[in-house]
Amino acid sequence: MRQIKCLITAGATREYFDPVRFISNPSTGKMGIAIAKACKKSGWETTLVLGAVSAPLPDGIEIVSAISAEDMLRETSARFPACDILIMTAAVSDMRPKVKSAQKVKKENLEMLVEFEQTPDILKTLSKSKNRQILIGFAAETNDIASYAKKKLEEKNLDAIAANNVSRKDAGFASDFNEISLIFRNGETINLERGTKDELAQKLVKILSEKFFS
């Protein structure tokens, strides 16, 4: 069989409102980087579109940098037609300042910053042009995890969604550990018990390989 081409996004986007300040989130990129390593280990041709990360970068994997949601949409869209599977672990900022000032905003003028707009939804956008590609999303939730994740699976037209509980202190954001429920379109749910992000990434890639490429 030909080599599977995998596109993974990871890390946080930064939405600048002036040249030196931005809004973002505490994603470290650890889960996505672990998945990229696991994909590579499985023999998949792997490209990683990376926002801001605070984790060691993997060796031997093609890395494309993306700062804002708009950058990530552009870099991911450009590579989407040629890929077999897109795994979106990136914590894309849902909102961005409507206006980006060309100069550093002075403290006295802070009230001019209140207007926000939504960023483009990368998965939703790409799912409209999907043909053979498998789309996997991530859902970081603090409550009603399964029901919110299923809603996102439908709304973004995904093949599966990996849901995790980010309210836990011992797993999720910034932790080296995670716990994932992988939910498929037919409602089938596979629970991956708490483990290191590397362990979970390997289990996840094995499952995706068996489900979609065997």
CB 95 within 8 A of CB 116: yes
CB of 118 to ligand C5P, least distance (A): 8
* Of 25 and 105, CB closest to ligand C5P: 25
Q: Tell me which DSSP letter residue 182 carries.
A: E
Phi, psi dihedral angles at 146 (to 5 degrees): -65, -40
Q: Is 90 in the site for ligand C5P (CB under 6 A)?
A: yes
Which of residues 88, 160, 182, 192 is near ligand C5P by CB under 6 A? Answer: 88
Sign, Cα dihedral of 195, 171, 58, 9: positive
Kindly report the number of other CB atoms within 10 A of residue 116's CB atom.
Answer: 15
The helix (H) or strand (E) run that includes residue 4 is: none
Binding piece for ligand C5P, criterion CB under 6 A, among 95-103, 119-127, 176-184, 199-207: 119-127
Residue with Cβ nearer ligand C5P (109 or 142): 142
At residue 198's C-alpha, the angle toward residues 193 and 33, to 5°, is: 125
Taking the C-alpha atoms of residue 181 and residue 72, their distance in angstroms, rounded to an integer, is 25
Active site residue 25: yes
Residues of this chain, 121-180, that bind ligand C5P according to CB under 6 A: 121-123, 137-139, 152
Q: Tell me whether strands 160-165 and 177-184 are parallel, antiparallel or unpaired.
A: antiparallel
| Smallest distance, ligand C5P to C-beta of residue 170, A | 22
Shortest gap between Cβ of 188 and ligand C5P (angstroms)?
A: 19
Q: Which is nearer to ligand C5P, 80 or 105 (CB)?
A: 80
Q: How far is the CB of 2 from ligand C5P (least distance, A)?
A: 26
Residues near ligand C5P (CB under 6 A) are 69, 88, 90, 92, 94, 119-123, 137-139, 152
Enzyme catalytic residues: 25
